[in-house]
Structure 1
Amino acid sequence: MSTFQKLRKAERETRKNLIIDAALELFSQKEFHKIGMRDIAKRAGISAAAIYRYFPGRDDIFVEALVRHMQTVERMFEKKVASGQTSLEELAMASVDYLLENESVFQMMGHFMITGQIQTKAMERYNAMQRQFLNLLERFNNQSELEIDNRLVTHAIYASIIGVVMAFKKYPGRSPDEIKRHIHRLTRIVSSMFTTGKMPGRNGSGE
């Protein structure tokens, strides 16, 4: 590849990243279904026509944004494992905190899970991304004492983590700190149930 081709490729990747950044900003501020390609193009500082040179549609931007977040979570998991933080509870807690701190991820996942509306090509990319994340979680989920297929347990953990956040992220009448503490308590219960099959006692011991 010539130097010119390398520069063109680098420029294209830079533009794509700027578009994803713009989309993430919008996803954190507005409901997903209210955001169109024109909105993203305007936030990115390019024309509405030009944005289609980089992404066929909004769903493709949506998936690439989620892929970027998944890569961040993967690096976070690897870092925790390297520092000895390998328990399911620690990884689950890190996951819920990430969802709580990244409104754009919450908005995008919520829209997809509730409506199931996504274009076919983007769906294929999304499914591949989801499988990769489940593989990652399964790799770290080696502590379960349940006599159940580990892949099924991994799916249940994934659904439970997301479900806890979705159910209580907008808990009426609670402050952000109260919501976070409540979600943490529920995450500890979920983690304990999946590793030992027991509810944690008041002291968190599982007795």
Structure 2
Amino acid sequence: METKEVQHVSKRQQKKTINRENIINAAIELFSSKSFAEVSMRAIAKHANVSPGLIYQYFDDQQHLFMTAFKIESSSLLNVLHQTVEGQDHQLELLATKYIEYMYMHDNLYHMMTYFMLENEQHGNVSQELHDIIDELFSLFREALRQHLPDDHLKHTVQLFFASLNGLLITYKNLPGRSSDSNLQHIKQLTSLLVHTIKRQEK
């Protein structure tokens, strides 16, 4: 009897895990293709093939679900970047190139980050947690930039550098008339030029 009860609990827990994963995957897909305001909990439920009420057993609201999806997508990026700079010289160019490559190849995170930055005021109480992720990115770039610039220039340079990388992606990622590989190579060339421009300001 006890074994059957354990199996029943295990199956129920497995079902909950599957439901949660399906909801998150549906949220990632929708949040990366539409603005935050355009994605309703009902639409996510339909996409995940669950009832709208079931979502609230796992997530408090739309903001909580967006935060969870964003954190999952960005954690892989942060892991890649941490591994990239560990024990390496020329960290700034390596870091910038790896960031460009990752964001270029991972449309979900690219679009979610773009929507988050454009609609920051709509994310309410979870904004601070999302900003913590951006701050971790800034911290990585700050340490790489510190090798080339005095500390009193770092704050604004980090912001400019990060904005410039994302600006290159937005401008050239889907540039018509060229192949995807050509667009990526062009962005990487401009990224290299950006890095060398900053290095010329070295103290």
TM range, smaller chain: 0.7 to 0.9
The residue that corresponds to 2:45 in the other structure is: 41
Whole-Å Cα distance in 2 between the matches of residues 119 and 167 of structure 1?
25
Whole-Å Cα distance in 2 between the matches of residues 194 and 148 of structure 1?
15
1:76-155 superposed matches below 5 A? 76-82=80-86, 84=88, 86-145=90-149, 148-155=152-159
The residue that corresponds to 1:31 in the other structure is: 34
Rate the CA distance shift 1:109–1:88 in 2: closer, same or farther, 3 A. same
After superposition, give the CA deviation of every residue in 1:23-67 in whole Å (9 maximum; x if it has no partner).
223345x32354322222223332111112222333332222222
3-state SS, counterpart of residue 56 of structure 2 = helix
Q: Is the 8 A contact 1:146 1:194 kept in 2?
A: no
Rate the CA distance shift 1:178–1:130 in 2: closer, same or farther, 3 A. same
- Sequence identity (%): 24
Q: Rg: which structure is higher?
A: 2
Rate the CA distance shift 1:135–1:87 in 2: closer, same or farther, 3 A. closer
The residue that corresponds to 1:192 in the other structure is: 196
The residue that corresponds to 2:186 in the other structure is: 182
Q: Is the 8 A contact 1:24 1:65 kept in 2?
A: yes
Whole-Å Cα distance in 1 between the matches of residues 82 and 15 of structure 2?
30
1:167 matched to 2:151? The reply is no
Whole-Å Cα distance in 2 between the matches of residues 147 and 17 of structure 1?
43
The residue that corresponds to 1:71 in the other structure is: 75
Q: Is the 8 A contact 1:20 1:65 kept in 2?
A: yes
Q: Which runs of 5+ in 1 are unaligned?
A: 199-207
After superposition, give the CA deviation of every residue in 1:84-103 in whole Å (9 maximum; x if it has no partner).
36521111111111111111
Whole-Å Cα distance in 2 between the matches of residues 194 and 129 of structure 1?
24
Whole-Å Cα distance in 2 between the matches of residues 90 and 140 of structure 1?
9
Shift of 1:139: 3.1
Q: Which runs of 5+ in 2 are unaligned?
A: 1-5
Q: Is the 8 A contact 1:80 1:86 kept in 2?
A: no
Give the superposed CA RMSD. Answer: 2.9
Rate the CA distance shift 1:192–1:43 in 2: closer, same or farther, 3 A. same
TM-score after normalising by structure 2: 0.78
One-letter identity of the residue aligned with 1:112:
F
TM-score after normalising by structure 1: 0.77
After superposition, give the CA deviation of every residue in 1:102-131 in whole Å (9 maximum; x if it has no partner).
111122122232343423112222222222
Rate the CA distance shift 1:18–1:184 in 2: closer, same or farther, 3 A. same
1:60 matched to 2:42? The reply is no
